[in-house]
Amino acid sequence: MSADIHVVILAAGQGTRMKSQLPKVLHRLAGRSMIEHVLTTAATLSPRTVTVVVGHRADLLRRHLSAWPGLQFAVQEPQLGTAHALQQAEPFLKGHSGTLLLLSGDVPLLTAQTVRRLVEGHRAATASATVATAVVDRPYGYGRIVRTKGQLARIVEERDATPAERQIKEINGGIYVFDLPPLFDALRGIAAHNAQGEFYLTDLVGIYRRKRKTVETLMVDDAQEIRGINSRTELAEVSTVVRQKKNEELMAAGVTLVDPAATYIDPDVQIGPDTVIHPGVVIEGQTRIGSACEIQAHVRIVDSQIGDRVAINNFCLLVGAKVANGVVIGPFAHLRPETNLGEGAKIGNFVELKKTSLGARSKVNHLSYLGDAEIGENVNVGAGTITCNYDGQRKSRTVIEDGAFIGSDSQLIAPVRVGKGAYVGAGSSITADVPAGALGIGRGRQVNVEGWADRRKASPEKT
């Protein structure tokens, strides 16, 4: 987009109807806060400046957005309405001419394509202002677009509308493009003569019309895009819309969703064809899953990389894991960050891994904890094996080399190394390295007391 675009995002309101300690725009949908959805869309225009108007819990918002470079924060205190909010951005836009795109922090579904069309339409019409509108079945709560002879005359808020105006189905999306030069002077002409006693930005339309300035409207194709979120119910409804869209994309690309309505996949997730996803699965963040995988019911995967032909059985949690092709996981496995599973590895039930790499075809089938461990290929880790990686102060590493066999119920007290092809006897506490090819046993020797049971029967008081 051509230069001299400035973006202002209104985000100072509390969002009373959310009944929340958090500012409304920090509530999340599809894995991201509302305000981040809006910022992501704004960034596609490469704007010269981006100003966020904050007020209610401004500290939280600033902290939340600290990773976004170059944002300007205008503070609106107290919050006296949308026109008053925009006025707070004036000092940040002093001396700039050009075009202002005004976005609302609580309208998260707006697409890059639509804002582009808005700005281009605005410039083509050489308008002073352009308002995004949509026709909806349930206009309740939105400002209505009042037209005379087809021309936009004014915008009237729900509470101030007459019964006849409330019938109007064309609504104000709360998204506008303005020419900067006349804007801030005109805003000073807005009064708070309305049901809420607030300074309404929507009154600018009437002011511009009286001054014979051109105010255009642009009707968005998909009314869902400009849905504002004011309550938890709307948050849930809009989240469903986002999920449905993602699910449809995935199915169109060859992914089977056994029950799309019960599948929760974030927008950035990638999944290959012929992968089957069962109900209750949640896939979040920057996760990538290959093709021909099967993810059974009630699995949650966060920020993980999964190869092809991977089977994940029921009730597993994977966070920040890397899984190669042909791996089998679960049920009830917990893969924590920096877990790295080699091709054809197998993780069984009740196994927890953390910062652990497991080589190709190695198996950890039952009831184990492996942390800070480097495990080679073709290793068999018996049931109930534990790496004792933490002494209360330091974390230490366990190394198990290729082809080693760890007998069941062993503890490997780190730092420790089990050499190539070595065996650890079941029930061992291994405190020293086991050389390659050796058998390490660290347990009390068994004693059998001959005839003990018979003697006990004969004179129980003596045993």
205 interacts with ligand UD1 by CB under 6 A: no
Least distance from ligand UD1 to the Cβ atom of residue 110, Å: 11
Neighbours of 6 (CB within 10 A): 23
* Binding residue for ligand UD1, selected from 41, 79, 217, 411, defined by CB under 6 A: 79
Enumerate residues 6+ apart whose C-beta is below 8 A from 38.
9, 25, 103, 104, 105, 107, 108, 110
> Cβ of residue 188: shortest distance to ligand UD1, in angstroms?
16
Residue 384: contacted member of Ca ion, ligand UD1, none (CB under 5 to 8 Å, by partner type): none
Under the binding rule (CB under 6 A), the answer on residue 255 touching ligand UD1 is: no
Angle among Cα 216, 218, 221 to the nearest 5 degrees reads: 170
Chain positions 7 to 26 lying near ligand UD1, rule: CB under 6 A, are 10-13, 25
Region binding Ca ion by CB under 5 A among candidate stretches 24-32, 70-78, 221-229, 429-437: 221-229
* Residue nearest ligand UD1, Cβ-based: 143
- Is residue 105 part of the contact set for ligand UD1 (CB under 6 A)? yes
The contact pattern for ligand UD1, residues 206-225, with x = CB under 6 A and - = no contact, is: --------------------
* 218 close to 132: Cβ distance less than 8 angstroms: yes
Contact 146, 166 (CB under 8 A): no
- Residue 146 touching ligand UD1 (CB under 6 A): no
Alpha-carbon distance 111 to 3, whole Å?
A: 20
H or E, element range at 342: none
The answer to whether the beta carbons of residues 324 and 308 sit under 8 Å apart is no
Query: Which stretch, 64-72, 102-110, 371-379, 421-429, contacts ligand UD1 (CB under 6 A)?
Result: 102-110
**366 annotated active-site:** yes
Q: Which helix (H) or strand (E) holds 165?
A: helix 163-166
Residues 177 and 119 sit within 8 Å (Cβ to Cβ): yes
Is residue 81 a contact residue for ligand UD1 (CB under 6 A)?
A: yes
CA–CA dist 27, 25 (Å, integer): 5
The residue range among 76-84, 102-110, 339-347, 439-447 that interacts with Ca ion, by the rule CB under 5 A, is 102-110
208 binds, among Ca ion, ligand UD1, none (CB under 5 to 8 A by kind): none
Q: Does 272 sit near Ca ion (CB under 5 A)? A: no
| Region of 64-72, 76-84, 100-108, 362-370 interacting with Ca ion (CB under 5 A) | 100-108
Nearest-angstrom CA–CA distance, 365 and 383:
7
Binding status of residue 72 toward ligand UD1 by CB under 6 A: no
Q: Which helix (H) or strand (E) holds 177?
A: strand 170-179
Give which of ligand UD1, Ca ion, none residue 85 binds (C-beta under 5 to 8 Å, depending on kind): ligand UD1
# residues contacting ligand UD1 (CB under 6 A): 30
**Alpha carbon 121 to chain centroid, angstroms:** 32
Q: State yes or no: residue 108 binds ligand UD1 (CB under 6 A).
A: no
CA-to-CA distance for 138 and 171, rounded, in angstroms?
10
Asked if 157 interacts with ligand UD1 (CB under 6 A), we say yes
Distance CA 390, CA 178 (A): 60
- Positions marked catalytic: 366
Using CB under 6 A as the criterion, which residues of the chain lie in contact with ligand UD1 when the complex forms?
Answer: 10-13, 25, 53, 76, 79-82, 84-85, 104-107, 142-143, 155, 157, 171-174, 200-202, 228, 230
